[in-house]
Amino acid sequence: MVRFLLSRVLVLIPTFIGVSIVAFAFIRLLPGDPVQMLAGERVVDPQRHAAIMHQLGFDRPLVMQYLSYLWNLLHGDFGTSIVTKRGVITEFFTLFPATLELSLCAIVIAVLLGVPAGVFAAVKRGSWFDQSVMGAALVGYSMPIFWWGLLLIILFSGILQWTPVSGRISLLYYFPQVTGFMLIDSLLSGQKGAFGSAVSHLILPSIVLATIPLAVIARQTRSAMLEVLGEDYVRTAKAKGLGRSRVVGVHALRNALIPVVTTIGLQVGVLMAGAILTETIFSWPGIGKWMVDSVFRRDYPVVQGGLLLIAMIIMVVNLAVDLLYGVINPRVRAR
Amino acid sequence: MPLLSLSNLAVTFDTASGPFKAVDGVDITVEAGEVLGIVGESGSGKSVAMLGLMGLLPPSATVTADEIAFEGRDMRAMSGRERRKIIGKDIAMIFQEPVASLNPCFTVGFQIKEALRAHTDLDRKGRHHRAVELLTAVGIPDPERRLSAFPHQMSGGMSQRVMIAMATACRPKLLIADEPTTALDVTIQAQILDLLIDLQKERGMGMILITHDMGVIAETAERVIVQYAGQQVERQRVATLFDAPHHPYTSALLAAIPERSTGRRLPTIPGVVPGQGDRPDGCLFNPRCPKADDLCRSVMPHRQTAGLGEALCHYPLNPLVV
């Protein structure tokens, strides 16, 4: 077990270096630089421009810039935002709870709806339920996420006026951040209506973000379930005289979940990518929106550091999924 | 009253190229404590008939029968819930592939106790005791520890012993063993067979033993049904079957037993069991039968009398000398 964990952690090192190179190079490939972007439409005096670039260290050779960046990283220094002058780490962890709250809600929706939908579709294979679920999954998977988000905003916020258009909570409420999770903080604040407001703000972005993972999980569950339902041990369970719900819900589902858990783990990457679009559409103050804004500002340290931190989270989640594997699949459990 | 009585059981599969009758006109009676053998090649519908009885076939299969009675109770009229009170309790089944038949995600103990929980009033402790007892009865050493083992930690023979323990957990009155030794090593086969027979004698269970091994039938069964292409072609007592088979197919099966073969080469039956697409007219065995004539190729034979093994043949062998 310790060896397994160690080997998996060792693999993270080259991945980490690779991601740092990509993040470093990617933002510099974009035309323009932070000073030009800060100046906006005003023309910057070339001398002043050069002076600021020198001051920020962006006039050095790229290799030198990268090596000193890497050196700072090894010391736990992710750099400072050019625009806000605050540490990248500080900004990240201020905004991360918002993204985490949104992502958790999305994955919970995706799993709670996707797994049962896939199971029933498999059990009732070929039925109208199966066909409509799989049709809906195909549509959900194929739909551009920003367009889907806009459609929902037009319907629920525009026409029906059921939900707010953007943000995390109504401006009427103000309370200190304790956990960073708006749902929890609003409850802790004890202010009347705060929790309801937080929920109504969260619901549309969660649905939008959950759409693709939901479609993928439903399809994966269905196909895993169909395979498992034909296995001999399912027949054995039936031969014991067990009820249908026990045969499907215990004997078949437990085996079908093995590939589904892998899929759920992989969806974390999709969630992070989706969060960037979703947060932008709904003005959700999380790291997705932060990354987009920083790219537009050419805030090199923030983009580099943010990408690296997001990549690390995805890697850690995938590691956790691998460990979870042993729990649900005794065949890979360490003896 | 027989323990189990089936008459005119048929199983039809709904396939892409139309309906396919895998089992046709199967009659079976089993008395309490009796061992009935069913033999035939692969594809002769032996397993399908029994799976149909147990309700274990996929939805594409339709099971029909004039009678399916267990201890006189008509199982056709029962609801799913009522059937499940008999299936797994009074009628249990073990399968050909023991390793694949155990759920890889659950311990042996969980899977045995689950059967007990479904059909008995035993409490947690009682179930545990009974599970240990069962593993001991099927000859598994260190049963306490084995209860927490997962199927992948066991060999094929061990897995089949566990399957037997599970099937006999609720003291069934009828055990259906579907080629229980086919997937096992030759050395293990005899052990498993001995175990089954011992348990059967000890508990007075009725048993239906499906096999394609005539030798196994000779050692264990009292009556035998020979099945070919979904039909029962001969029904006889084992004592007389080996000396006087009445159907040419039975005779060919007997000739193919290595121990009985006399020539230098082991006789075989040319050809294969007809499938969905190549069903012949007349007697289904006629393309492979050395004695087939025009009658056999055009007219489906009637069942002969009991004295002729109830053979489904126009020209039964070894006719009685009057």
Q: What is the mean pLDDT of residues B235-248?
A: 90
pLDDT at A334 over 80: no
| Per-residue pLDDT at B98 | 92
Instruction: Kindly indicate the confidence band of residue A316, based on its pLDDT and cuts at 50, 70 and 90.
Output: confident
B104 in any annotated domain: yes
CA dihedral for B46, B52, B57, B60, sign (positive or negative)? positive
* Adjacency order of strands within the sheet including B174-178: B91-94, B174-178, B206-211, B35-39, B223-228, B231-237
A237 neighbourhood in chain B, CB within 8 Å: 103
Look at A233 and B101 and tell me if their CB atoms are within 8 Å.
yes
Confidence of residue A51 (pLDDT cuts 50, 70, 90): confident
Compute the distance between CA of residue A182 and CA of residue B264 in angstroms, rounded to an integer. Answer: 87
Contact across the interface for A330 and B85, Cβ inside 8 Å: no
Mean pLDDT of all residues in B291-295: 89
In 10 A of CB A148, how many CB atoms? 19
Q: Bridge-partner residues for B225, per DSSP?
A: B38, B235
Residue whose C-alpha is closest to residue A152's, from A203, A187, A199: A203
pLDDT at B50 (0 to 100) = 93
Please answer whether residues B215 and B183 qualify as being in contact, where contact means their C-beta atoms are separated by less than 8 angstroms: no
What's residue A325's pLDDT?
A: 78
When pLDDT is cut at 50, 70 and 90, the band that residue B121 belongs to is very high
Q: Is A227 on the interface with B (CB under 8 A)?
A: no
Q: Report d(CA A12, CA A7) in Å as an integer.
A: 9
Alpha carbon of A77 to those of A227, B62, B284: distances in Å? 49, 70, 83
DSSP annotation of B45: S
CB atoms B106 and A241 under 8 Å: no
* Residue B95 in contact with partner chain A when CB distance is under 8 A: yes
Indicate whether B226 belongs to any domain: no
Q: A72 by DSSP, 3-state: which?
A: helix
Asked if A232 is an interface residue toward chain B (Cβ–Cβ < 8 A), one would say yes
Count of helix runs (H) and strand runs (E) in chain B: 12, 11
CB contact under 8 A, A241 and B85: yes
Q: What is the pTM of this model?
A: 0.84
Cα A53 from Cα A324, distance rounded (Å): 47
A186-196 burial, b if ≥16 CB within 10 A, otherwise e? beebeeeebbe
Q: Which residues of B touch A243 (CB under 8 A)?
A: 81, 84
What's the mean pLDDT in A116-137? 94
Strand blocks (E) in chain A: none
Are B77 and B121 members of one domain? yes
In total, the C-beta contacts within 8 angstroms joining chain A to chain B are 75
ipTM, two decimals, is: 0.89
Structural domain contains residue B60: yes
With cut-offs at 50, 70 and 90, classify the pLDDT of residue B322: low
Is B322 within the bounds of a domain?
A: no
Compare CB distances from A331 to B92, B104, B119 and report the shortest one's residue: B104
Question: Which chain A residues have a beta carbon less than 8 Å from that of B163?
Answer: 236
Of all residues in chain A, the one with the smallest CA distance to B84 is: A241
Question: Is the minimum CB–CB distance between B118 and chain A shorter than 8 Å?
Answer: yes
Report the pLDDT averaged over residues A144-160: 91
In one-letter notation, the amino acid at residue A268 is: V
Tokens of A182: 């708006």
User: Which structure tokens are listed for A75?
Assistant: 């010391």
Distance from CA of A129 to the nearest CA of B (A): 17
B279 belongs to a structural domain: yes
* Assigned fold of A94-332: MetI-like fold (1.10.3720)
Which of the pair, B307 or A203, is modelled with greater confidence?
Answer: A203
Q: What is the pLDDT of residues A204-235, one digit of tens each?
A: 999 999 999 999 999 999 999 999 999 999 99
Mean residue pLDDT of chain A comes to 88
Yes or no, beta carbons of A241 and B152 under 8 Å apart: no
> B210 and B245 share a domain?
no
Residue B53 and residue B130 in one domain: yes
Tell whether B289 is covered by a domain: yes
On chain B, the residues whose CB falls within 8 A of the CB of A235 are 51, 56, 95, 101
Given pLDDT bands bounded at 50, 70 and 90, which one contains residue B37?
Answer: very high
**Under a CB-based contact definition with an 8 Å cutoff, are residues B291 and B249 in contact?**
no
HSE of B42 in the Cβ direction (CA atoms, 13 Å)? 4
* Tokens 């201890």 -> residue: B71
- Residue given tokens 């390793």 in the structure block: B99
Distance from CA of A265 to the nearest CA of B (A): 20
Chain B within 8 Å of A243 (Cβ-Cβ)? yes
Which one of B105, B106, B111, B178 makes the best mutation probe of the A interface by having the most chain A beta carbons within 10 Å?
A: B105
The verdict on B104 touching A (C-beta cutoff 8 Å) is: yes
pLDDT at position A34: 82
Distance CA A276, CA B44 (A): 61
Half-sphere exposure of A139 (CA within 13 A, CB side): 8
| Residue recorded with tokens 């069962």 | B134
Q: Note whether B214 and B235 are same-domain residues.
A: no
Report yes or no: B55 at the A interface, CB cutoff 8 Å: yes
Q: How many angstroms separate the CA atoms of A200 and A191, rounded? A: 16
Which residues of chain A have a CB within 8 Å of the CB of B95?
Answer: 232, 235-236
Mark yes or no for CB contact A240/B88 under 8 Å.
yes
> What SS3 state is found at B7?
strand
Query: A235 and B101 in contact by Cβ < 8 A?
Result: yes
- B258 and B147 in one domain? no
Nearest neighbour of A239 by CB, restricted to B56, B97, B152: B56
Structure confidence by residue, pLDDT tens digits, B4-35? 999 999 999 998 888 999 999 899 999 999 99
Indicate the residue of A237, A238, A330 with minimum beta-carbon distance to B104: A330
Report whether A332 contacts A320 (CB < 8 A): no
Q: Do A241 and B101 touch (CB under 8 A)?
A: no
CA neighbor of A291 nearest in space, from A277, A279, A306: A306
Give the residue-averaged pLDDT of A137-143. Answer: 92
Residue A251 touches chain B, beta carbons under 8 Å: yes
Nearest to B196 by CA among B52, B35, B32: B35
**Segment A243-276, tens digit of pLDDT:** 999 999 999 999 999 999 888 888 888 888 888 8
Closest among B195, B204, B202, B137 to B173, alpha carbons compared: B204
Sketch the domain layout of chain A as residue ranges: 16-74, 94-332
Q: Please state, in angstroms and rounded to a whole number, the distance separating the CA atoms of residues B246 and A191.
A: 91
- Which residue in B58, B85, B102 is closest to A233 by CB distance? B102
Residue of A nearest to B106 (CA): A330
Q: Which of B171, B192, B221 finishes a domain?
A: B221
Mutate to test the interface with A, among B103, B106, B154 (most CBs of A within 10 A): B103
Q: Are residues B20 and B93 in the same domain?
A: yes
Residues B163 and B236 in one domain: no
pLDDT digits (tens, 9 = 90+) for B45-75: 899 999 999 999 988 899 999 999 999 999 9
In-domain check, residue B313: no
B321: pLDDT confidence band, cut at 50, 70 and 90? low
Predicted confidence at residue A290, as pLDDT, reads: 93
Whether residue B236 is found in the same domain as residue B144? no
CA gap A310, A54 in Å, rounded: 29
Q: Which of A241, A255, A330 sits opposite B84 (nearest CB)?
A: A241
Structure confidence at residue A37 (pLDDT)? 79
Are B53 and B189 in a shared domain?
yes
Dump the DSSP string for B174-216: EEEEESTTTTS-HHHHHHHHHHHHHHHHHHT-EEEEEES-HHH
Q: Average pLDDT of A116-144?
A: 94
Residue of A nearest to B119 (CA): A241
Last residue of a domain, one of B177, B195, B221: B221
A330 → closest Cβ in B85, B150, B167: B150
Task: Please check whether residues B186 and B90 belong to one and the same domain.
Answer: yes
Task: State how many domains chain B has.
Answer: 2
Would you give the distance in Å from CA B200 to the centre of its chain? 15
Domain range for B257 is: 231-308
Whichever domain contains B199, its CATH number is: 3.40.50.300
Q: Distance between CA B64 and CA B267 in Å, rounded? A: 37
Q: Are A331 and B115 a contacting pair at CB < 8 A?
A: no
Residue A317 pLDDT class (50, 70, 90 cuts) = confident
pLDDT at residue A335 in the model: 45
Same domain? B255 vs B118? no
Higher pLDDT pick, A69 / A9: A69
Q: Does B275 map to a domain?
A: yes
* Identity at B18, one-letter amino acid code: G
Q: Is A124 on the interface with B (CB under 8 A)?
A: no
| CB neighbourhood size of A203 (10 A) | 17
Of B89, B105, B152, the CB nearest to A241: B89
B54 shares its domain with B120:
yes
Domain end (from B173, B201, B221): B221
